[in-house]
């Protein structure tokens, strides 16, 4: 029995939360591995230019595709609610709409690739040699755009159905295919940068094929071919509003982190490098805690779909307990093991010393930021995306002045204090709006 067939009404237990969260944590843990292997394989060519080319090209594509990251979150929230409501037709239709958006967006990137590449190199200028190799890479990878963006929808739909083991299988498959083909194309056939790009391209399209198979429940009957249902104006308008709110919130959040990096550069190369090392701890935090936030998306969304206030609040509380425990564990690990991790990431003595000095600020972030991480998942599941957007706008009104004032008073410590403040204010503003989640639900 699938969730869409009724198993979504299973009791809310700690075991159920962990069954959703842990595969996501494991899946996220494999993400840095792929980048390391790509760099390591291309590094065997013994030249700096190919490494730089792959790095710049990857940043350009990641930044462009990231705009459509809302498909993952929006699909998760909307599908979870349709599952909770027992509306099988709408569960399938949501996936079809999201896949259509992903395919059209990818096609747009292919048709507009010249403009995309020109804009990317204008923002990230490089030497003629590096730019030439990066263009070779991009000219291959761009053909995977429809698959990559459509996979956001696939992952969101699987999360909504609590099929996170499928997300893990999908991530492992793509990584293994990519790594295996990297070794063959680059070291075996000598294809260089184009070999790395071709390996990723094949991994993306094979991943989409596997993802669609994992979503086969959506294709089990004729519902997925009901164009009138898929093109329903009311549902399309709702999807547009939800995704638009998430996109604006994400742009503001990304701008907050980019401004942190740019302002850190004013304090010199050593500080900039130390900040970059410490930001990897924040990335680890996000990877680890995402699993519990995704569990909240699915469980809260299903409860809202059934119209049950108490169940929605219980789902929020259970997932947040595990998220809070994970945050405390990470904070403790950063304090105790952080110096060793810093030494693994850099051999420069001055950078090591500087990073250790600011490590306590980073150790605080999981603890101070757990509320905003979990509330993001809770609000996405409830599709209270307008509240998320408004909370982010209010947060930026506070974070902006702090980012200007605190570094002037405390140097780079003020910069880290401002980033911690960003987490706290996000949590406070979302917490203030949290009661709205249950206001239209019954007991």
pLDDT of residue 98: 94
pLDDT at 99 over 90: yes
Same domain, 337 and 424: yes
Residue ending a domain, choose from 171, 203, 231? 231
Q: Which of 37-51, 79-93, 141-155, 392-406 has the lowest mean pLDDT?
A: 37-51
Same domain, 168 and 131: yes
> Is 163 found in the same domain as 91?
yes
Q: Is residue 237 part of a domain?
A: no
Cβ–Cβ under 8 Å, residues 193 and 111? no
* Segments forming the whole domain that contains residue 203: 1-231
165 within a domain of the structure (yes/no): yes
Q: Which residues contact 407 (CB under 8 A, 6 or more apart)?
A: 263, 266, 414, 415, 418
Q: Quick: pLDDT tens for 186-211.
A: 888 888 889 989 999 999 999 999 99
End-to-end CA distance of the chain: 28
Count of the separate structural domains present in the chain: 2
Q: 292 or 67, which is more confident? A: 292
Helices within 30-87 (DSSP H only): 31-43, 48-66, 70-84
Are residues 159 and 266 part of one domain?
A: no
Report the alpha-carbon distance of residue 68 to residue 61 in Å, rounded: 12
Mark whether 74 and 176 lie in a shared domain: yes
| 3-class SS of residue 11 | coil
Are 288 and 179 part of one and the same domain?
no
The residues that bridge with 442 in the sheet, in sequence order, are 308
Whether 33 and 181 map to the same domain: the answer is: yes
**Does residue 37 surpass a pLDDT of 80?**
no
């Amino acid at each position: 029995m699938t969730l869409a067939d009724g198993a979504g009404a299973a009791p809310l237990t700690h075991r159920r939360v962990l069954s959703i969260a842990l595969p996501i944590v494991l899946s996220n843990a494999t993400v840095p591995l792929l980048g390391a292997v790509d760099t390591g394989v291309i590094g065997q060519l013994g030249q700096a230019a190919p490494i730089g080319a792959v790095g710049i090209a990857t940043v350009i594509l990641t930044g462009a595709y990231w705009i459509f990251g809302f498909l993952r979150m929006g699909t998760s929230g909307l599908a979870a609610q349709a599952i909770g409501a027992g509306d099988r037709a709408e569960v399938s239709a949501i996936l079809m709409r999201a896949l259509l958006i992903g395919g059209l967006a990818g096609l747009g990137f292919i048709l507009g690739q010249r403009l995309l590449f020109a804009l990317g190199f204008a923002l990230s200028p490089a030497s003629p040699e590096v730019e030439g190799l990066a263009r070779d890479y991009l000219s291959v990878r761009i053909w995977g755009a429809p698959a990559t963006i459509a996979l956001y929808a696939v992952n969101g739909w699987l999360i909504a159905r609590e099929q996170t083991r499928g997300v893990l299988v999908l991530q492992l498959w793509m990584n293994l295919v990519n790594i295996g083909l990297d070794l063959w194309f680059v070291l075996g056939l000598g294809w260089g940068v184009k070999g790395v790009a071709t390996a990723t391209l094949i991994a993306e399209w094979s991943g989409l094929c596997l993802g669609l198979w994992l979503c086969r429940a959506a294709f089990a009957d004729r519902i997925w071919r009901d164009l009138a249902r898929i093109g329903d104006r009311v549902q399309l308008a709702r999807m547009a509003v939800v995704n638009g709110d998430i996109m604006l919130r994400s742009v503001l959040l990304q701008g907050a982190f980019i401004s942190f990096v740019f302002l850190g550069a004013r304090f010199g190369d050593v500080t900039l490098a130390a900040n970059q090392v410490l930001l990897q701890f924040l990335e680890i935090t996000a990877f680890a805690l995402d699993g519990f936030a995704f569990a909240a998306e699915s469980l809260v969304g299903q409860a809202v779909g059934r119209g049950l206030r108490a169940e929605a609040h219980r789902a929020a509380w259970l997932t947040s307990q595990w998220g809070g425990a994970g945050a405390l564990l990470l904070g403790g690990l950063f304090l105790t093991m952080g110096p060793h991790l810093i030494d693994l990431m850099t051999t420069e003595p001055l950078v090591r010393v500087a990073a250790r000095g600011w490590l306590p600020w980073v150790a605080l972030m999981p603890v101070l930021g757990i509320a905003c991480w979990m509330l993001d998942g809770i609000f996405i599941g409830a599709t209270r995306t307008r509240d998320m957007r408004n909370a982010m706008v209010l947060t930026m009104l506070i974070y902006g002045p702090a980012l200007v004032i605190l570094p002037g008073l405390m140097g780079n410590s003020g910069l880290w204090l401002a980033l911690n403040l960003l987490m706290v204010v996000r949590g406070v503003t979302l917490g203030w709006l949290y009661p709205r989640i249950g206001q239209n639900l019954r007991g």
